[in-house]
Amino acid sequence: MFMKKAFAAVLATAVLVAGAVEAKDLRVASNTTFPPFEFVNTKTQEITGFEMDLIRAMGKQAGYEVKITNMAFDGIIPAVLSAPPASPSPRSARSAFSSRNRSTSPA
């Protein structure tokens, strides 16, 4: 359940903050403590993992330069809410949360 919420927060952040800095930037906030989905490569200090690769590929396909920021999970939503709106519509109309993107079976 926590992973689902974390991924939803990452996607919501991407949707809400897109365009806040430049029209073609997609800014993503993530708590990168969930390998293999999202983590910091200790050799390169690059934020990587399945979900980060997916976000980069989606951003590239849509024509955005993806900028990922690592932050504590409890700081992601406040950071999103404090960002300037990317469009004049209400923030709630620009929010989107994902449905389950994976599931696991008990061992």
Convert the pLDDT of each residue in 33-90 to its tens digit: 999 999 999 999 999 999 999 999 999 999 999 999 999 989 988 887 777 766 555 5
**pLDDT score, position 20:** 47
User: What does the chain come to in residues?
Assistant: 107
Better-scored residue on pLDDT, 66 or 4:
66
**pLDDT score, position 27:** 85
Quick one: which of 59, 60, 63, 61 has its CA closest to 13? 59
Determine if residue 54 is left, alpha or beta; phi over 0 gives left, psi from -120 to 50 gives alpha, anything else beta.
alpha
**pLDDT score, position 51:** 94
**pLDDT score, position 35:** 94
